[in-house]
Amino acid sequence: MTPGPDLQQLITTIKTDAGSDDELEQLATAAATISELTTTSDAALGFFVDRARGAGKSWVEISAVLGVSKQAAHKRFADSWTSKPAFDRYTERTKAVVAAAADVARERNHTYIGTEHLLLAFYSQPRAVATLVLLAHGITADSVRAAVDLESPAGAESVELDADNPPYTRRTAHVLQGAVGEALTLGHNYVGTEHLLLAFYRDQAGVATKILLEQGLDEATAWNDIRAALERITK
């Protein structure tokens, strides 16, 4: 196992980042650093818990590996499957994709917003990183729509969706929450469409994930393409 920084290395890093000998400034830097490390550590652990859950592992098995009770593991990590997503770190383009997912669900006469609607919503933002990655692999709006028609046919009667309380499925809520973890994994302080795309792979049983895999885009390829796209944008 690769060792993390020891206490002395961490103290040295904090002092360097503080850039001052003032004790209060160093304390403030230490508090911010520890908070960021905790958030990132929780996101990393949640990432692997998600993988285990997506692979069908039970909370009993997961809690045994973590060395905590089933109730403790469930309380700490199950929220990403059930709680209402928070969008404070989402970019405007990513928020537009989420809003478009509700439009897609409405157009298909569905009373819920599923991962398939979120996947189709990417095409409402043709210049988004996620959309460009999809198109580069020949995964078009038409090919995705055809696959969605097979997995989740359109309803017969028109429906209304609650704009104040969007009816996200458990899997969609999980993707929306998981995108924040993907952003932290990449060291980003924002949530872009690329993070949403990567979050699909946290749950292999989701409709969107099945479609992506069937159309030839696995997680490793998506990850590499996104990193390459971000490097081009940075340059």
Report pLDDT for 95.
Answer: 95
The residue-averaged pLDDT of 166-173 equals 88
CB 62, CB 161: distance < 8 Å: no
Report pLDDT for 42.
Answer: 67
- pLDDT top residue among 76 and 220: 220
Is residue 214 scored above 90 in pLDDT? yes
90 DSSP β-pair partners? 191
Sequence-distant (6+) residues with CB within 8 A of 109 are: 154, 155, 156, 157, 158, 159
Number of CB atoms found within 10 A of residue 77's CB: 21
Cα angle for residues 87, 119, 181 (degrees, 5° grid): 40
- Report the alpha-carbon distance of residue 208 to residue 205 in Å, rounded: 9
The residue-averaged pLDDT of 148-175 equals 84
The residue-averaged pLDDT of 191-218 equals 93
Thinking of the domain 92-234, which architecture would CATH place it in? Orthogonal Bundle (1.10)
- Read off the tokens for 65: 């590996």
Report pLDDT for 141.
Answer: 97
168 DSSP β-pair partners? 113
Which among 125, 134, 117 is positioned nearest to 96, based on CA atoms? 125
| Percent of all residues in the chain with a pLDDT value above 70, rounded to a whole number | 85
State whether residue 61 is helix, strand or coil: helix
Number of CB atoms found within 10 A of residue 87's CB: 14
Report pLDDT for 30.
Answer: 85
- pLDDT top residue among 59 and 134: 134
Is residue 125 scored above 90 in pLDDT? yes
Q: How confident is the model at residue 140 (pLDDT cuts 50, 70, 90)?
A: very high
Q: How confident is the model at residue 216 (pLDDT cuts 50, 70, 90)?
A: very high
Q: Domain ranges in the chain? A: 7-55, 92-234
Report pLDDT for 122.
Answer: 98
- Read off the tokens for 57: 């592992």
Report pLDDT for 69.
Answer: 79
The residue-averaged pLDDT of 213-226 equals 95
- Read off the tokens for 158: 């028109």
DSSP label of 113: B
- Report the alpha-carbon distance of residue 85 to residue 98 in Å, rounded: 11
The residue-averaged pLDDT of 187-197 equals 93
113 DSSP β-pair partners? 168
Report pLDDT for 124.
Answer: 97
What digits encode the pLDDT tens for the residues 48-73?
Answer: 776 676 667 777 888 888 787 777 76
The residue-averaged pLDDT of 119-133 equals 97
